[in-house]
Copies of this chain bind each other. A is one copy, B any other.
Amino acid sequence: MSYKDIKDVHEAIVSCLNEVSTEKLRLCLEQFHAVDIAEVMDAVNIAQGVKVLRLMDTGKAATVLMELEPEVVPKLLEGLGRQRTAEIFSEMFTDDAVDLLGELPEDKQKMILDFMHASDAKSVRELLKYGKETAGGIMTTEYVAISKDITAGQAIEVLRNIAPDAETVYYLYVVNNSNQLVGIISLRELIIPPPDSLIKDIMRPNVISVHVRTDQEEVARMVAKYDFLAIPVVNDNNELLGIVTVDDVLDVIEEEATEDIMLMTASMDSEGQEFDVGALQRAARRLPWLIVLLFGSLLAGNVIAGFSSTLEQIAALAFFITVMAGGPGNVATQSLAVVVRGLATGEVTSRGIISIIIKEVRVGLLVGSICGVILAIIGYIWMGSPELGLVVGLSLALSMTVATILGSFFPLVISSFGVDPALASGPFITTIMDVTSMLIYFSLASLILL
């Protein structure tokens, strides 16, 4: 099946779900990927969901469960009962179980942990202790660790036995007797040499690892940088605790990009997930920012009020307030986006910051003077006053240049305080620019026109 149209797949799954015979339903669902089944299952009722999860292959049921909306999961598990729940969770990778439980309220977490096999519950509880956005919070404990003193042939034998339980068998981590990470060998490197080669002779001894408390964004950046399929996680003693696999890294990168965009527009706090929350919560998250920004804009209004005598003498100045507030704000946001995104992807390193700011200021001078000339001409033609044209053109040019400087410095300054540079920086910088532009505009107007 070539996946040209996901809608056809969804429809086919829906028609499977209408099968009355349990055996036919089972065979029908077998053709489809668990992720697609989960997408359709979000819409079915609990009773039917329980039926499907009961007859399905356990591993597939685990995947379906992980992909469902978190709030339906406890209801489904209650319907499935203790034994089937335990079976499904023993098929699930620990990191996925942790993700799933992390989304649920504490009483539901407890219920599910009680249902699970004691050993699985123990591993999950241990991982739940780590910060959600750290390497520990996203790692899994199902990795393949081998001793450096066995042979390649023995290692393949180990693999054959534990492969079904490991999340990735494509890297084998080599440890010493104290469980310290001393080497790594990929499955492809293992199958090429003669079977009696010693692991310690064929492994790569320089392993790139992350600390268990490393931020998930940093983990993602390293996996992306080195093109790894997984990265090992160690503690202060270099003991191997788990691995972070590339599928989780993909999720982190998507999550962090969304977070950046949300933060840049002041749509949420840095922990929030925007899609799952209701209108009230959304409003509650945005309101504090909006009120702060409201006072910021009032500050710009205050500047205008301070020049009210100028404004009374030349009423036409009011017509250009939106231009003077909007243009430099846009320019500032552009510079800011370049720097914020550069910091997030690692393309902007501390070495390159100065050159980026210089470049942005040159951009500001260029776009500022061109937009300034255009506005000067329009102002002259519209108002019939060359002096007014000069004032609006010059103000816009000056404000736009200042905007690029502020826009590229602002994220650097707040990131040097250890704050995520994306944090509400878009609207903040526009509001700061409103105040600045009004100051420039009305000062120049008073100077030149009065």
Contact A253 B257 (CB under 8 A): yes
How far apart are the CA atoms of A342 and B318 in the complex, in Å? 38
Q: A50 an interface residue at 8 Å Cβ cutoff? A: no
Known: A226-B35, A257-B253, A334-B266. A192 touches B207 (CB 8 A): no
For A234, list chain B residues within 8 Å (CB).
Answer: 2
Contact B222 A3 (CB under 8 A): yes
**Which chain B residue has the least Cβ–Cβ distance from A9?**
B208
Known: A246-B229, A275-B347. A326 touches B327 (CB 8 A): no
Q: A164 an interface residue at 8 Å Cβ cutoff? A: yes
How far apart are the CA atoms of A155 and B48 in the complex, in Å? 41
How far apart are the CA atoms of A223 and B247 in the complex, in Å? 9
Q: A353 an interface residue at 8 Å Cβ cutoff? A: no
Q: A375 an interface residue at 8 Å Cβ cutoff? A: yes
* Contact stretch, chosen from A72-80, A81-89, A359-367, A413-421: A359-367
* Contact stretch, chosen from A118-126, A145-153, A301-309: A301-309
Contact A366 B280 (CB under 8 A): yes
For A360, list chain B residues within 8 Å (CB).
Answer: 279, 282
How far apart are the CA atoms of A348 and B276 in the complex, in Å? 11
How far apart are the CA atoms of A319 and B427 in the complex, in Å? 20
Contact A319 B290 (CB under 8 A): no
* Contact residues, A178-204 vs B (CB, 8 A): 187-188, 191-192
Q: A345 an interface residue at 8 Å Cβ cutoff? A: yes
A95 to chain B: closest CB distance in Å? 12
A7 to chain B: closest CB distance in Å? 10
Q: A209 an interface residue at 8 Å Cβ cutoff? A: yes
Contact A267 B337 (CB under 8 A): yes
A43 to chain B: closest CB distance in Å? 9
Q: A160 an interface residue at 8 Å Cβ cutoff? A: yes
Contact of A192 among B31, B164, B286, B362 (CB under 8 A): B164
For A318, list chain B residues within 8 Å (CB).
Answer: 304, 308, 311, 318, 321
Contact of A169 among B187, B322, B341 (CB under 8 A): B187
Interface centre among A206, A257, A302 (most CB of B within 10 A): A257
Known: A258-B345, A261-B261, A362-B279. A300 touches B327 (CB 8 A): no
Contact of A300 among B278, B322, B342 (CB under 8 A): B322
